A and B are shown apart, each in its own frame.
Chain A
Amino acid sequence: MSTSAPDTAVAPDAGTERPTSGELLEVTDLRTTIRTPRGPLVAVDGVSLRLKRGETLGIVGESGSGKTVLSRSIMGLLPGRGTMLTGSVRFDGQELVGAPESLLRSIWGPRIAMVFQDPMTSLNPVHRIGRQIAETLRLHLKLSKKLANQSAVTLLAQVGIPSPELRARNYPVELSGGMRQRVMIAIALACGPELLLADEPTTGLDVTIQAQILDLLAEAQRMRHMAMIFVTHDLGIVATRTDQIMVMYAGRAVEFAPTHQLFANVRMPYTEALLHSTPRMGNPSHTRLAAIDGRPPDLVSRPPGCSFAARCPYAQDKCREESPMLVADAAEPDHFYACWYPRGTSTPVHPQGAPSDA
């Protein structure tokens, strides 16, 4: 571990000086339409969410459900030309949808940072990792070259990289997948962001390494009072590490609840299907899994009604005709679901456009 490098240059505790209550992020009716050769593809279809400082939101869904497009849309990073973004993303009171690139650039890094599944695609293969971190610090925090280099080593030590002075001189390809992800996290944390978007940050890593990375993220979040959006296909990861969970299916939020309520009282049949088809170590071997047949709909030609209707064991005629809105549970006002014939125990009262209307 490094003892010589100063801790001062980095801004690890920047978050704690900021107000600690109120919404940090407010997303309302966000819709992302991607132009494809087959026609417009609505990858994110009217998603709303809210997040406070220090909170963690898990976004769960299978591949193609729109998790990555949603998290990138929140940041204003759109996949390709001709992509249309409507709705609103308010970050600390500032509207990001339609904001000039210069504003977005001043927010990316210092205030909102992102960690991706595959660090190899976001790290520069021909630059040493120490230099890549130092450049981020120089750009955003206007540090001198010397101080930035020292701080880069400190950050590497903070994310648990052994012999950080030596490692700073490595190229990305010389590191294991787990080490590269630590470097990505170091870069993301470099400027003390208020919101971290982590998109499948441990997918592809072995479980013992995953456990280390999850600990690292949780620790960084606690120290900095940082908000986090944790995107994953794995319900196990979000079960014990989030305050709220949003389940996505075919570009829509189909259930949204505080983590304990979601698991204790599943309302939306897709959430139920996801839970029942996941094998668990706690179950005896040969426990029959409740598999759901079929596949999600084509997002270019989405059928009317509920997107899950073709696979849902409880579907009735109404499901194929009318799209269910996200509504609040009568007994649990923080618990939202989109289903005409919900599972679980209570009945919906008033339709809601978004969780934020509760």
Chain B
Amino acid sequence: MTLDASAAPLLTVRDLHVSFTRGGHTVQAVSGVSFDLFEGETLGLVGESGCGKSTTGRAVARVIAPTSGSVVLGDIDLTTCRPSVLRRERTRLQMIFQDPISSLNPRRRVRDIVAEPLDIWHSAKGQERTRIVTEMLEAVGLDPVLAAPCYPRQFSGGQCQRISIARALVMRPKILICDEMVSALDVSIQAQILNLVEDLKAAYGLTVLFIAHDLAVVKNVSDRVAVMYLGRLCEVAGADDLYRSPRHHYTNALLASAVEPDPDAPRTHAPLQGEPPSPLNPPSGCRFRTRCPRAEERCATEVPELREIEPNHHVACHFPVEIRDRAA
């Protein structure tokens, strides 16, 4: 997909901060994240555990309140609008989580789980309700006649994830935020769900924020990818471009750490030693500087801002990685 940079984004996130205070300590989970989500695209958000992906997703969906910053959907700022407006707007923005089984109420039948948003909003009753539930179950690849009267425990993890998707789609949202939605699934089931997301996105004109730690999974479904480290975005670019020519040193190391099912792939040594620093006390300047092979003095004193170094390729680094083979 080529992006028209002049088009107005559907969702705009600016300088998002989220911190959690616990036992006198403050964790800066998200520290100044900005990005746009364009209509019809899938933006992947990738990074290692604890870097703030879920917190970003939850703040965007307004499941949690950000400490500061703005999240603008259409022309409504979800961080400042009135609660009644927020309630309505939130139906246009749905979330799907990693653990499908625990996110479904075990005591309710599938048809009532899927219809729950309709019931809350009194938007459909009787035959109309049944019709919508049937359509949604079919759309996610479940047999409505068999599935509707059953309880979640009668389904496998992959099927439960389909039920979660049906419930998320029932209000016809504009935006789907998927947080590690396939991480607990085996690869054959994962492939079914990833293909389903691609199909539903086309069928329902969805815009997707796809959060995951798996680099290959994220590339597979995304048009653009944002890489996150210790609460900040390092790099945002088109998926193929980013994986071919990473410009941030963290992206570069992350990609070099991943394994591919190919015996001829070069077996490199671990590119990064040690573990990320604590978000309780993040490094000054560039947060990656304590592990970056290219770090200089300036990296400790000056926070690198995300800037566009080539069309549609943004990087937050004072000394970006040189472009490698671009012909491939």
B253 interface contact, C-beta 8 A: yes
Q: A178-B275, A289-B194 are in contact. Are A260 and B263 (CB under 8 A)?
A: yes
Q: Which of B48, B156, B198 is A207 in contact with, Cβ under 8 Å?
A: B48
Indicate if the CB atoms of A209 and B258 lie closer than 8 Å: no
A281 interface contact, C-beta 8 A: yes
Indicate if the CB atoms of B240 and A176 lie closer than 8 Å: no
A316 interface contact, C-beta 8 A: no
Indicate if the CB atoms of B254 and A278 lie closer than 8 Å: no
B271 interface contact, C-beta 8 A: yes
B7 interface contact, C-beta 8 A: no
Q: Which of B188, B189, B221: most chain A Cβ within 10 A?
A: B188
Indicate if the CB atoms of B220 and A283 lie closer than 8 Å: yes
Indicate if the CB atoms of B188 and A274 lie closer than 8 Å: yes
A282 interface contact, C-beta 8 A: yes
Indicate if the CB atoms of A286 and B221 lie closer than 8 Å: yes
Q: Which residues of the partner chain B approach A239 to less than 8 Å between Cβ atoms?
A: 259-263, 265
Q: Give Cα A179–Cα B257 distance, bound, in whole angstroms.
A: 18
Indicate if the CB atoms of A292 and B188 lie closer than 8 Å: yes
Indicate if the CB atoms of A284 and B262 lie closer than 8 Å: no
- For residues 203 through 253 of chain B, which have their beta carbon under 8 Å from a beta carbon of chain A? 213-217, 219-223, 239-240, 243, 253
Q: How large is the interface on B (under 10, 10 to 19, 20 to 34, 35 or more residues)?
A: 35 or more
- The 0/1 profile, CB within 8 Å of A marked 1, for residues 258-292 of chain B is 11111101010111111100000000000000000
Q: Which residues of the partner chain B approach A295 to less than 8 Å between Cβ atoms?
A: 156, 158, 189
Q: A215-B270, A279-B219, A286-B220 are in contact. Are A293 and B239 (CB under 8 A)?
A: no
B195 interface contact, C-beta 8 A: yes
A162 interface contact, C-beta 8 A: yes
Indicate if the CB atoms of A62 and B187 lie closer than 8 Å: yes
When C-beta atoms are compared, the residue in chain A nearest to B273 turns out to be A212
Q: Give Cα A291–Cα B186 distance, bound, in whole angstroms.
A: 11
B191 interface contact, C-beta 8 A: yes
Q: Give Cα A283–Cα B239 distance, bound, in whole angstroms.
A: 11
Listed A/B pairs (22) with beta-carbon separation below 8 Å: A208-B48, A208-B257, A208-B270, A210-B259, A214-B270, A234-B259, A236-B262, A239-B261, A239-B263, A240-B259, A241-B267, A279-B191, A281-B219, A282-B262, A284-B240, A285-B240, A286-B198, A286-B221, A289-B194, A291-B194, A295-B158, A295-B189
Top 4 nearest A-B pairs (CB, nearest first) are A236-B259, A277-B191, A211-B270, A291-B191
